[in-house]
Amino acid sequence: MKAHGEFLAGAVGEIAGVSGTTIGQWARWGYIRASRSDGDPHVYAFEDVLEALMVKALLDRGVSRPMIRRAIAHLDGDWPLTDAQLATTRNGRRPRIVLREPDGAFVLSPRGWQLMVAPPPLEDVRLRVKRDG
């Protein structure tokens, strides 16, 4: 898939609602990648911005960083978080990531995706772009 646009970390951070430093850390830790450049400064594509928005949405829901890394490792595609239809559990404990597929809902476990026989209430992960004002 072709990447679109060119953004520096500060701009990506503004859009996602975090600092440019946080964006750089997320890239180093493997949450997102800089599709437009391997060197410094990192240059991000629009699709990388969407991945950053997904990471932020998951963190805002209380999903742990290790769970996000595990999801990325178990999903396919150049932009795994935005390529998948993700949701989170809403029961009182720490939220878990759920992959919605035509053949069912799969919760992320230490062993990978596990089919949920009776899924609890789920909340789809939708992207939200920060706007000034």
Chain segment 82-109, per-residue pLDDT in tens: 999 999 997 767 899 999 999 999 999 9
Q: Which domains does the chain have, with CATH numbers?
A: 9-124 (1.10.1660)
Q: Percentages helix, strand, coil for the chain, rounded to the nearest 5? A: 35, 20, 45
Model-level pTM?
Answer: 0.89
Confidence at 1, pLDDT banded by 50, 70, 90: low
